[in-house]
Structure 1
Amino acid sequence: MRALVFETFGGPLTVREVPAPDPAPGGVVVRVGASGICRSDWHAWQGHDPDVVVPHVPGHELAGTVTAVGRDVRRWRVGDRVTVPFVNACGACAQCAAGDPQVCPHQTQPGFTHWGSLAEFVALDAADVNLVALPDELGLATAAALGCRFATAFRAVVQIARVQAGEWVAVHGCGGVGLSAVQIAAAAGARVVAVDVAEGALALARQFGAEHTVAGGGDGVADRVTELTGGGAHVSLDALGAAATCENSVRSLRPRGRHVQVGLLPPAQGRPAVPMERVIALELQVLGSHGMAAHAYPELLGLIAAGRLRPQELVTRELGLDEAGAALADVGRTPGIAVVTSF
């Protein structure tokens, strides 16, 4: 199969022929119809994830068609149109039994623990637990954006932060996750302040429902958010994953506000100075959010079918696999979500 491969961390990203995968007994192989290019893929390429072993094929946001089924799989057949969360749970541990497969200690992740979806085919584990059936009317490019960025933002806003209508929500970082969070929070009736260093990203944030936008990258971001929200946000999300955005998010909150950490914070890039004295004095909540389980997708898919959420509007570029390497290397420089749809 054709795949995007890197042999060294931070090294060349090239498309070449590699062996196609076979399904595990409980897994499937999917012919990839669409695969997003995400900042997490950039972290894998940079060597920030200890699970990644070179040579490696990145890619974890995917949608496609089942082409091979392991002998123990019961729920899926060749020809099924599917997507999958980026966390593939084991389905047998205490966390999975409790309904929390997104924190499964035995999880696998395509594009991290094994070769990913920036290829013609990808292997997925524990298919009966992890696969999500796609409605016929949902395009594969849109469905691919759900596997990480949109579904991650949905869980962070709706299920972790429990955003309520009328609350102020600050979103720090308006990449794919952040723009998704802006749209989802606005659809929930929240008032949104979006923060980013790029005017193009802020323009999209306004298009997707942000009431105010703030230029990031300098001092005074938290003060500006506090001013615009009349005392601080009820909910603030670090959707980028950087020391500065994490700290700004916590400092943007009003008393008893909720900070949600969504963007990855690889230790190799430095640890944030979280102002814990402020957390104590204002009784702030500091929450983590890690993807979304397959069993939670029906609510999201229902809102998309009803037109209340529009993830298709966030897909701003469809690319061929030969363009994927350059897009991954430049991730974050062009607003919106890039999806590979030609392999």
Structure 2
Amino acid sequence: MKAFQITEPGASRLTELADPQPAAGEVLLRIRCVGFCGSDLNTYRGMNPLVSYPRIPGHEIAGTVAALGEGVAGWTVGQDVLVFPYTECGACSACRAGRPNCCRDNKTLGVQRDGAMAELACVPQGKLLSADGLSPTELALVEPLTVGAHAAARGQASEGEHVVVFGAGAIGLGAIAGAAYRGAVVTAVDIDDAKLALAQKCGATHAVNSAAQDLHARLQELTGGHGPALAIEAVGLPQTFVSAVEEVCFAGRVVYIGYAKEAVSYDTKLFVMKELDIRGSRNALRTDFEQVIAMLQAGGFPTAEVVSHRGPLDQAGGLLAEWAEAPQRFTKIQIEFPEG
């Protein structure tokens, strides 16, 4: 089978590997569509400390069941599925607390272990999910949207309250859609008007270009002088990390999805004065997958616009290099595989 590998920082290749065979309890998938994630971009840039090389990326996966390993039940050959790409040890403090998404020993496909940007992949049957009526494009979009949806859940976004989301990239759009799906009034913040327009199609009620408008004044105006109840940071810059704390209301909640690319300096008095809840958000739970699947099945999500670039496997390396060169041009890249 053909597979795509990131071989070292700034380098990738197509390679030929032996076709995998499903072990007992596994399902062989013929891959239909795989999305590139921000973690893959960091792997390509040499900025992902969790990765060793060479690495096959790919944890945003749509596939069709091609063969069943011994003992597999509940799945049929020809069935379209998506993949829950994380592992959990079941024994660490996170797993015991019912939060396996942040398992201490998690190994995400395409990050700590090889992913599915290949023609075939074997997956444990317990890691498959079905989503009737969704296309391969939508199936592969579920996982990245769940990362943002999980952040909205971590922040307890609720009916009628004001939520601000910093960043309208793929993960930020998931947070916007997730918070809106929970009934919140969402303000999207970015410096790109096209991304802000897309954010409004994903559920944002308001949009603020923080390079052209006074963000603080606008948020005060929208919230009656209080500030938003929840701030979700999906950019990864020190200034947006700090801005989330500054703009959120007294007794508010702040959720950070990604890592800041450099050290962040805070005036910590706001943590205490506002009595803030500051939370991290990592990966997603199965309940987040179920919510996003239901959201996509309901229709209305602008999938065709969120997936900004598509191409076959032999274009994966070029698209990844272009993304690294000009990230502002991209929202989501998906690599498509022929059917059958």
Instruction: Provide the TM-score with structure 2 as the length reference.
Output: 0.86
The match for 1:131 is 128
Q: Using the TM superposition, give the Cα deviation of residue 305 of structure 1 relative to its aligned residue in structure 2, in angstroms.
A: 2.7
The match for 1:327 is 319
The match for 2:148 is 153
Contact 2:138 2:296 in 1 (8 A): no
- 1:309-328 aligned at under 5 Å gives the runs 314-328=306-320
SS of equivalent to 1:255: coil
**Distance in 2, Cα, partners of 1:295 & 1:233:** 25
The match for 2:102 is 103
**Number of aligned residue pairs:** 334
Q: Do the aligned partners of residues 139 and 281 (structure 1) sit closer, same or farther apart at CA in structure 2, a change above 3 Å counting?
A: same
SS of equivalent to 1:333: helix
| 1:171 pairs with 2:160 | no
The match for 1:57 is 56
Q: Quick one: percent identity of the two aligned structures?
A: 31
Contact 2:33 2:61 in 1 (8 A): yes
| 1:271 pairs with 2:263 | yes
| 1:247 pairs with 2:242 | yes
**Distance in 2, Cα, partners of 1:152 & 1:271:** 23
Contact 1:222 1:248 in 2 (8 A): no
Contact 1:32 1:121 in 2 (8 A): yes
The answer to which of 277-286 and 11-20 deviates more is 11-20
SS of equivalent to 1:88: coil
1:144 pairs with one of 140, 143, 153 = 140
The match for 1:294 is 286
Q: Using the TM superposition, give the Cα deviation of residue 25 of structure 1 relative to its aligned residue in structure 2, in angstroms.
A: 4.6
For residues 221-280 of structure 1, give each alpha carbon's deviation from its aligned partner in whole angstroms, at most 9, with x where no partner exists. 455434443331111111122322222222220101111111244xxx312224432111
SS of equivalent to 1:236: strand
**Distance in 2, Cα, partners of 1:138 & 1:282:** 43
Q: Using the TM superposition, give the Cα deviation of residue 116 of structure 1 relative to its aligned residue in structure 2, in angstroms.
A: 1.4
Contact 2:181 2:295 in 1 (8 A): no
Q: Using the TM superposition, give the Cα deviation of residue 162 of structure 1 relative to its aligned residue in structure 2, in angstroms.
A: 1.7
2:296 pairs with one of 292, 301, 304 = 304
SS of equivalent to 1:66: strand
Q: Do the aligned partners of residues 313 and 286 (structure 1) sit closer, same or farther apart at CA in structure 2, a change above 3 Å counting?
A: same
**Distance in 1, Cα, partners of 2:93 & 2:65:** 29
- 1:65-104 aligned at under 5 Å gives the runs 65-71=64-70, 73-90=72-89, 95-96=94-95, 99-104=98-103
Q: Using the TM superposition, give the Cα deviation of residue 142 of structure 1 relative to its aligned residue in structure 2, in angstroms.
A: 0.5
The match for 2:277 is 285
**Distance in 2, Cα, partners of 1:274 & 1:32:** 45
**Distance in 1, Cα, partners of 2:50 & 2:25:** 21
Instruction: Provide the TM-score with structure 1 as the length reference.
Output: 0.85
The one-letter amino acid paired with 2:292 is L
**Distance in 1, Cα, partners of 2:289 & 2:41:** 26
The one-letter amino acid paired with 1:140 is P
The one-letter amino acid paired with 1:200 is A
**Distance in 2, Cα, partners of 1:296 & 1:213:** 25
Runs (5+) with no aligned partner, structure 2? none
SS of equivalent to 1:169: strand
Q: Using the TM superposition, give the Cα deviation of residue 21 of structure 1 relative to its aligned residue in structure 2, in angstroms.
A: 3.6
**Distance in 2, Cα, partners of 1:193 & 1:70:** 47
SS of equivalent to 2:245: helix
SS of equivalent to 2:114: coil
Runs (5+) with no aligned partner, structure 1? none
The one-letter amino acid paired with 1:89 is E
RMSD, matched Cα: 2.8
SS of equivalent to 2:203: coil
The answer to which of 165-174 and 91-100 deviates more is 91-100
Contact 1:56 1:115 in 2 (8 A): yes
Contact 1:233 1:257 in 2 (8 A): yes
2:253 pairs with one of 251, 258, 263 = 258
**Distance in 2, Cα, partners of 1:20 & 1:200:** 42
Contact 1:236 1:253 in 2 (8 A): yes
**Distance in 1, Cα, partners of 2:183 & 2:171:** 19
Contact 2:90 2:100 in 1 (8 A): yes
**Distance in 1, Cα, partners of 2:48 & 2:68:** 29
The one-letter amino acid paired with 2:226 is G
Q: Do the aligned partners of residues 284 and 233 (structure 1) sit closer, same or farther apart at CA in structure 2, a change above 3 Å counting?
A: same
Contact 1:32 1:120 in 2 (8 A): yes
